[in-house]
Amino acid sequence: FQNASFYLNEGEKIGILGINGTGKSTLLKMLAGMVSPDEGKITRANHIVVEYLPQHPVFEDKDDVLTSVIKRHITEENKWDIESQAKAMMTRLGITDFKQPTGQLSGGQKKRLALVSVLLTPSDVLILDEPTNHLDNDMASWLEDTLMSLKTAIIMVTHDRYFLDNVSNRIVEIDKGQIYS
């Protein structure tokens, strides 16, 4: 990116467009704090909670699906509630064997599992890289409704223009190292 400037307002839902290889996923990783920019800076409010959905989620193969989804989020206070929420979301997304090892899941099932994981805990910002990949129309509609009902700020990249237009209230384009709002 060259002289790039980007901002996110509270509760705003931003879609990012650009051809393959323009740096969309890299931008998301920088915004999530996973990658540092070579120069410049990213400023975020103190104590902000950011959840990130990678394009290709990775789980421990030996963990069962329920453990995989809740282990980053579980506390003694929310143990019973978070398990039931996770099971309800997984069931809605077609994952019903909660003891199945994640190593046995397809890439699409892992993406659904990762979606459940990022939606479980309230956050200030959700960063989603291709959230509709491997979802059928019913599941994409469920995700659209879920994201639209959240007061959380969202930054997402997707090639599903219909989904992007319905969920986003601002579109940002990346082209030749520049970010255009």
Angle at 18 between CA 167 and CA 156, to 5 degrees: 30
What are the C-alpha distances in Å from 77 to residues 81, 83, 86? 9, 12, 15
Yes or no: say if 91 and 51 are a contact pair by the CB < 8 Å rule: no
What are the residues facing 44 on neighbouring strands? none
pLDDT tens digits along 10-58: 999 999 998 988 889 999 999 999 999 888 888 888 899 999 999 989 9
CB atoms within 10 A of CB 93: 21
Q: Are 29 and 157 in contact (CB under 8 A)?
A: no
Beta bridge partners of 85: none
d(CA 84, CA 170): 34
Over the stretch 85-125, which tens digit does the pLDDT of each residue have? 999 999 988 899 999 999 999 888 998 999 999 999 889 99
Q: What residues have CB less than 8 Å from 107, skipping those under 6 apart? A: 56, 134
- Give phi and psi for 86, each to the nearest 5: -65, -45
pLDDT band at 153, cuts 50/70/90? very high
| Whole-structure pTM value | 0.91
Could you give the strand order of the β-sheet that contains 50-53, starting from the edge strand earlier in sequence?
50-53, 125-129, 153-157, 13-17, 170-175, 178-180
* Cα radius of gyration (the chain): 16
55 with 134: CB under 8 angstroms?
A: no
